[in-house]
Structure 1
Amino acid sequence: MARKRHPSKEIEAVLEQLEALGWTVIEGKGHAWGLLRCPTNNTECRCGRFCQMSVWSTPRDPERHAKQLRQKALACTKLDEK
């Protein structure tokens, strides 16, 4: 089943880019629209588990939130090995 689209075009574009790199978008619970999860589960990754980030539904500055998501995801140490 296809995931629902994010209401912000900037954030949706980043989500599509990261999905192409293998990241998974999980439907959110509570205050988050969703959760981005790294394709690897490695102890050398940031927290020693899946790298994951919350995707907010209505951030104050959608462009800034999109940029932060992209930067954190591309900084994941395990993407270099793919």
Structure 2
Amino acid sequence: MVSAGRHPKNAINAVIGDLPDNIEVVPIHKGHRWGVLGCATCDATEAIWSTPRSADNHARGLLRFVARHLHDEEG
């Protein structure tokens, strides 16, 4: 059994365990969606799926989202 704050796929769990301050994880256990990554600076979101076809590819997509939303202090 997986604890409440831990994703069942290790690759995805590694990504959500090491996020910058402006990115937050909002747990939404509804359907196939496990949660959402949200950028506090620009209000963009990215779904975190509970059972992706390829956990490694999904983790890379989440990393791309994080890289796109590394905003500097000026906005």
* TM-score bin (small chain): 0.7 to 0.9
Task: List per-residue Cα deviations over 1:30-68 (Å, max 9, x = no partner).
Answer: 320000001213xxxxxxxx1110000010100000001
Question: What CA distance in whole angstroms lies between the structure 2 residues aligned with 1:56 and 1:36?
Answer: 11
Q: As a proportion of its length, which structure holds more strand?
A: 2
Structure richer in helix, relative to its length: 1
1:15 aligns with 2:16: yes
Structure 1 segments unaligned to the other structure (5+ residues): 42-49
* Letter in structure 1 aligned against 2:46: M
For residues 48 and 17 of structure 2, the distance between their equivalents in structure 1, rounded to whole angstroms, comes to 13
Identity %: 37
SS of 1:81's equivalent in the other structure is coil
Counterpart for residue 44 of structure 1? none
Following superposition, which runs of at least 4 residues in structure 1 exceed 4 angstroms of deviation?
none
Unpaired stretches in structure 2, ≥5 consecutive residues: none
Q: Which residue of the partner structure matches residue 4 of structure 1?
A: 5
* Normalised TM-score (structure 2): 0.80
Alignment length (residue pairs): 68
**TM-score with structure 1 setting the length:** 0.74
Report the CA distance between 1:17 and its aligned residue: 1.5
SS of 2:5 mapped into structure 1: coil
Query: Distance in 2 between the 1:25 and 1:75 partners?
Result: 16
C-alpha distance in 1 between matches for 2:32 and 2:68: 25
Offset of 1:27 from its aligned partner? 1.1
